[in-house]
Amino acid sequence: MSIDTRAEKPARLGGNLLGVTMLVVAFVVSLIVSTVNTLRIERPNETIIRIAHWQLEKGYREALDIAIKEYQRRNPGVKIEQMGVTEKLYNQWINTQLISGTAPDLCEMGQSNMLTKDEYTVKYFIPLSNLITRPNPYNANNNLKDTPWKETLLDGMRGGFREGLQEYYGVPTTLISMRLFVNRTLLKQATGSDALPETFGEWMAQCRAIREYAKKTGQERSLIPIVSCYGIQSIKGTYEVPFTSSYERELDLDLNGDVLPIETYIGYRKKQVTLQDPSMQALFRSMKMVGDQMQLGFSGMDRQTAQYTFANQRAAFLSTGSWDASGVAQQAETSGFDLAVIQMPLPAEDEEFGAYIRGRQNEASSNGAGVYGVYKNSKHAEQALDFMMFLTSREGNEILNQNSEWPPLTIGAKPSKLMEPFQPDPRGYNARVSLGFGPRVTQVINAELVNYFQGFAPFSEFERIYNEVILDPRRGGDWAWWNEYDLRRRDVRNKERVLAQDLALELITPGSRDPNRTRRAVLQQLTRYNGTDYLWLFRTEREADPFVAWKDFQPVFP
């Protein structure tokens, strides 16, 4: 082999020089830009706060800009820069920013492990528990002026609470809820009246009339009564409480006001609830009726197609959430039809399923969304927090949510006209029968029940497969029970870490920690009994030895 690694004369670079020059120029330009940006951020006379999020839906950025301008007007010398990052990239982008120490002062929490997992949250974000108990100064002119900041939000700031850390790490700014959008123009065309359905029976009657109209006008293939952005499961979710809340008295063993999946499983095994119960059948049959009014094989329809179909006036009813409202409203305006928003109608007393309805699902316990955390290394953490106070004051929250057409979160904040129907309704019930106990059972429900709703399989087929899985000792309810026991045990152990940290820091600097936080963590540990209560429950309710039943699972500990 003969390789001359030492050429006597450098060859002409020719065209290669162009490539090198471009590289150098690009490098120099990016160096200049990033230096200028850094200097801008660190300008001593100006406070610049950066706020990052992935809400690129129509209206949100503009609304946040309006809120920012108002805040800047009240706080001269403070500049706030909005950074909207596309949802698909937000994860990688924010991870890089956090690790490199250059994250924005306010980051929307979610998408990334670094923002959702406790071990990272505690590293990168400021705990807020001690700060949210004081009143919000931006509420000084309304009846919330003496209310602790936390209590001025409809969800009590629960959206920002981290159970594992027993701390608040974020401030939510909006609420989300599901509703039914109605094309009143099409409704009038098809049925002769644009009256909104007040009952389930009326709704189904309107849907049948739309089918008839479609047949008469040769639009059988293209006109559908109902479409849903999230399939029929999202619609069924809103009917579960009305149909099954009456099981609460029998199934709520711990009297905590809710029926946990494990309690449903216990009830299922003891035949206190079966799939053939009249109220369960009423739920399934009513959802089958809804499925009959959707597109044939609707499980193949995705969110975009559903919205597109509705926007092009080929569906009269669209089920989706508040986050889509402004987009749908704009599409309605463009297409020129009259849009209305209602809650999912329930069967009336004298209708087919009326006897099984206890009442509507209440939305009082919904958690807030649009949660922002304050970055620990922010140079202007106080100012950033102040901005969040403004954004969640009655006035600030109105500005943000009225302009973005999202539901406001602050108590008393007026929603936009479009958002009025999305306001959480605290009237109603909350307990429901949860058939999905364990991931494999949930998979069966998602994959097989939809076959029944689509009319491709009889209910007996779903019942057979469901019973096969839920009663399977290796992958059904018993496995899920073991999993819950294990998670409970680990939860106690994880809380022990946080508790140990708290107590150690209190020893090092007495008075530095909130004693109530410690007491709360101790209480939460104690009430989980290291998981032994689930063992006891298995022995007494399943009437079996868990260590025999779970012998194939690991780890299981006596």
**In the range 398-417, which residues lie near other proteins by CB under 8 A?**
411-412
We find the least distance from the C-beta atom of residue 131 to other proteins, in angstroms, to be 16
- For helices 261-269 and 477-508, give the axis angle rounded to 10 degrees: 150
* Cβ-based nearer residue to other proteins, 49 or 396: 396
SS3 377: coil
Distance between CA atoms of 415 and 491, rounded to whole angstroms? Answer: 39
Choose, by CB under 8 A, the member of 55, 191, 264, 309 that binds other proteins: 309
**In the range 443-462, which residues lie near other proteins by CB under 8 A?**
443, 446-448, 450-451, 454, 456-457
SS3 8: coil
Considering the rule CB under 8 A, would residue 423 count as an interface residue with other proteins?
Answer: yes
Contacts of 259 (CB under 8 A, 6+ apart): 247, 248, 251, 252, 431, 432, 433, 434
SS3 316: strand
Q: Is the dihedral of CA 493, 496, 498, 500 positive or negative?
A: negative
We find the least distance from the C-beta atom of residue 536 to other proteins, in angstroms, to be 4
Give the interface segment with other proteins, choosing from 67-75, 134-142, 379-387, 439-447 (CB under 8 A). Answer: 439-447
Considering the rule CB under 8 A, would residue 142 count as an interface residue with other proteins?
Answer: no
Choose, by CB under 8 A, the member of 130, 217, 222, 377 that binds other proteins: 222
Give the interface segment with other proteins, choosing from 14-22, 52-60, 355-363, 398-406 (CB under 8 A). Answer: 355-363
Considering the rule CB under 8 A, would residue 135 count as an interface residue with other proteins?
Answer: no
Considering the rule CB under 8 A, would residue 501 count as an interface residue with other proteins?
Answer: yes
We find the least distance from the C-beta atom of residue 59 to other proteins, in angstroms, to be 20
* Cβ-based nearer residue to other proteins, 242 or 396: 242
We find the least distance from the C-beta atom of residue 109 to other proteins, in angstroms, to be 17
Contact pattern for other proteins over residues 178 through 207, marking x by CB under 8 A: ------------------xxxx--------
Say if CB 431 and CB 241 are below 8 A apart.
yes
Considering the rule CB under 8 A, would residue 471 count as an interface residue with other proteins?
Answer: no
Choose, by CB under 8 A, the member of 40, 123, 216, 551 that binds other proteins: 123
* 190 residue type, one letter: A
Considering the rule CB under 8 A, would residue 498 count as an interface residue with other proteins?
Answer: yes
* Cβ-based nearer residue to other proteins, 396 or 408: 408
Distance between CA atoms of 320 and 113, rounded to whole angstroms? Answer: 27
Kindly write down the DSSP assignment for every residue of 384-413, as one continuous string.
HHHHHHHHTSHHHHHHHHHHHT--B-BTTP
Considering the rule CB under 8 A, would residue 464 count as an interface residue with other proteins?
Answer: no
Choose, by CB under 8 A, the member of 45, 86, 100, 554 that binds other proteins: 554
Considering the rule CB under 8 A, would residue 488 count as an interface residue with other proteins?
Answer: no
Q: Is 20 exposed, middle or buried (0-12, 13-18, 19+ CB in 10 A)?
A: exposed
Considering the rule CB under 8 A, would residue 137 count as an interface residue with other proteins?
Answer: no
Considering the rule CB under 8 A, would residue 95 count as an interface residue with other proteins?
Answer: no
Choose, by CB under 8 A, the member of 53, 162, 380, 440 that binds other proteins: 440
Residue 59 CB neighbours (<10 A): 19
The 3-class SS string of 188-224 reads HHHHCCCCCCCCHHHHHHHHHHHHHHHHHCCCCCCCE
**In the range 510-539, which residues lie near other proteins by CB under 8 A?**
515-516, 519-520, 522-524, 526-527, 529-530, 532-533, 535-536, 539
* Cβ-based nearer residue to other proteins, 93 or 203: 203
* Cβ-based nearer residue to other proteins, 29 or 355: 355
We find the least distance from the C-beta atom of residue 190 to other proteins, in angstroms, to be 16
Distance between CA atoms of 374 and 393, rounded to whole angstroms? Answer: 17
**In the range 277-306, which residues lie near other proteins by CB under 8 A?**
277-279, 295-302, 305
Distance between CA atoms of 269 and 265, rounded to whole angstroms? Answer: 6
517 backbone dihedrals φ, ψ, rounded to 5°: -60, -45
* Cβ-based nearer residue to other proteins, 76 or 558: 558
* Cβ-based nearer residue to other proteins, 395 or 425: 425
Q: Is 13 exposed, middle or buried (0-12, 13-18, 19+ CB in 10 A)?
A: exposed
Considering the rule CB under 8 A, would residue 215 count as an interface residue with other proteins?
Answer: no
Contacts of 394 (CB under 8 A, 6+ apart): 139, 142, 144, 152, 410, 411, 412, 413
Considering the rule CB under 8 A, would residue 270 count as an interface residue with other proteins?
Answer: no
Kindly write down the DSSP assignment for every residue of 237-267, as one continuous string.
HHHHHHHHGGGHHHH-TT-SSS--HHHHHHH
Q: Is 357 exposed, middle or buried (0-12, 13-18, 19+ CB in 10 A)?
A: buried
We find the least distance from the C-beta atom of residue 32 to other proteins, in angstroms, to be 28
We find the least distance from the C-beta atom of residue 264 to other proteins, in angstroms, to be 14
* Cβ-based nearer residue to other proteins, 81 or 463: 463
Distance between CA atoms of 196 and 187, rounded to whole angstroms? Answer: 9
Size of the site for other proteins (CB under 8 A): 127
Q: Which DSSP letter does residue 546 get?
A: H
**In the range 237-266, which residues lie near other proteins by CB under 8 A?**
242, 246-250, 254-258
**In the range 13-72, which residues lie near other proteins by CB under 8 A?**
none
